[in-house]
Structure 1
Amino acid sequence: MEQQEVRIPIAGVIEESRLNPTNERQYLVHYPNGEGIYLVKFDDGSQELRSVFAGKQIDDGRHLAHIMCRFPVPAQVIAEEIKKEHEATLKDAIESLRTDVIHAVDVCHENMLKDNAAIFRAINELRESVQASGNGISEKTLLEALKVVAAGKHD
């Protein structure tokens, strides 16, 4: 019989203990990505696929987890490849986000350089006009002019 590959979208990987079972698995909060199919790894080395859906809401606001079915995963199934695919997807998403952040920082830096250039031009124009008039300018007047230029850029 020819072997075929079956891909099942996995919502997450959970590790549980068969030796010390917890009551938490009956609540949806135990499943970090909500409803879906989870690969559950037990401390004895066995694995299972668990199909989880939200059940009724209880008094404390939590939802009970409705486990539709459980499928034992045979040892020959390569579950680690599933984990590697999730890691690769996460790495791609992080890289995309990193690129967006770098682009935003570059745009902010360009805007800052433009603002600085405008301020320097205003200072130079003010100096030239003062020198052409033959009158001096006080430091206070120069600071006031800078405040006006800077306020105009941020409105």
Structure 2
Amino acid sequence: MIATTTTGRTSFRLIGRTGLVAVAALALVSCGKKDRPKADLAASQVTTIGVNSYLWRASLEALSFMPLLQTDSNGGVIVTDWYANPNNPGERMKVTVTILDQDLRADALRVAASRQTSQNGVWVDAPVQAATVQKLEDVILTKARDLRRNAVK
């Protein structure tokens, strides 16, 4: 719509489709030319997900052997379903990975794990060793750094 003043009043008239296209084209031309993104921009600046894409992809790769229950790339949450190692069917694990930032940093990643053991046919909660969670975080961070390194080449 375009506003025109007639006798102290503002009235509106519709612009045709061709007029709208012309106005949009003029607006785009007047924006000026922008530089292309550099190769080493943070992943959040070159992707459409809400978290660091290298951490996201590395987390999915690291957990690829487990069934996924929930994934949210905008919120940065991956939740697996219970997984029992075929070599140890009396124990199962469930993992939640949360990516907290758009930058590739160690403190942008949080891993939580739950463990259960089978006792008389009933699953009972059991403690998870801190080293297990730390090892999974290290695996994800190493994969993320490798992905970034390979993308920048």
Q: Return the structure number with greater helix share.
A: 1
Higher relative contact order (CA 8 A, sep 6+): 2
Higher fraction of strand: 2
TM-score, with normalisation over the residues of structure 1?
Answer: 0.26
TM-score normalised by length of structure 2 = 0.26
Between structure 1 and structure 2, the one with the greater Rg is 1
